[in-house]
Structure 1
Amino acid sequence: MRKIKYIVIHCTSGPALQTTKAIKDYWRNSLGWKQVGYHFIINADGTVENLAPIEAVTNGVKNYNSVSVHICYKGGVGSKDTRTPEQKESILKTIKKVLEELKQHQPIDGIKIRGHRDFSPDQNGNGKVDFFEWIKDCPCFDAKAEYKCLQGAKAANDKSLP
């Protein structure tokens, strides 16, 4: 099992009704990816599709994929948080499930939960990634703040990582 440092939350930035097949076809045909972008994708009704085992490296965040597990909800159109109540519940359950699985292989106190946008560079050097520095709006809400309660003290206090 690889060592995980991040659970990264994403949105598809498209309609919640788009099919997973269409998303996979886009990755394969338009981006040329051989692997999927996320480990889990969450439909509008809250059903969770497992696209890859957490041991697999997927294509969620460039330069961080080997140390990340990726969870995505369908939606996020126009940079708006379009999560349904069912998606919100499923994201939370999926994060908890991933942490439970990881706990069997590594300490989880240092795992950080972040949105894709939190991996944007701090271009003005003020020690934080401001909204105008985001290279993506994904996941269209502040995952870092929303899931802070699921992170251990070590992760919350570590300033060296996004």
Structure 2
Amino acid sequence: MVDVNKATIGGHSDAIRALVKLLAEGDSRARKEAITALYSLCFYDDNKKRAVMAGTVPLLVGGLINSAGVPDDTLERPLGVLNMLATVVEGRTAIGNHWGIMGTLVRLLKQGTSRSREHAVAILSSLCCNSKQRATEAREAGALEHCRQLLDDGTMRSK
């Protein structure tokens, strides 16, 4: 999708809200397509803020927290969207305010696919570099141990 199109689509007052509604109420295929569309639209910075304001974060974080037993590869795209949203203040705040997110990200560092681990470490980095409280929470959840392990056996991207 061309950047101009991302701006135009995201700027339409109901576009991102409709995708979030689909994410909340759609069947599994509709949710997957909504996540893919949000992922693409969120490459444009203004759309990240719109996605946060539309309620994307609680849906994605809730899905991750309740993801035990879900195939790891299905978590990669939602983590990718959260990774992008974590690059803006509004996104970091919304993600970090969810109870259980640090423990979930640490679990994904330990058990996720290589791509999921890359996204999880990037989200943790965004949260922790901008908040001492979040850094303490991550440390208490065991993030340091798993980040050290990524240095040894992770992908170049996760390092």
When the two structures are superposed, what TM-score results if normalisation uses the length of structure 1? 0.37
Q: Larger helix proportion, structure 1 or 2?
A: 2
Q: Larger strand proportion, structure 1 or 2?
A: 1
When the two structures are superposed, what TM-score results if normalisation uses the length of structure 2? 0.37
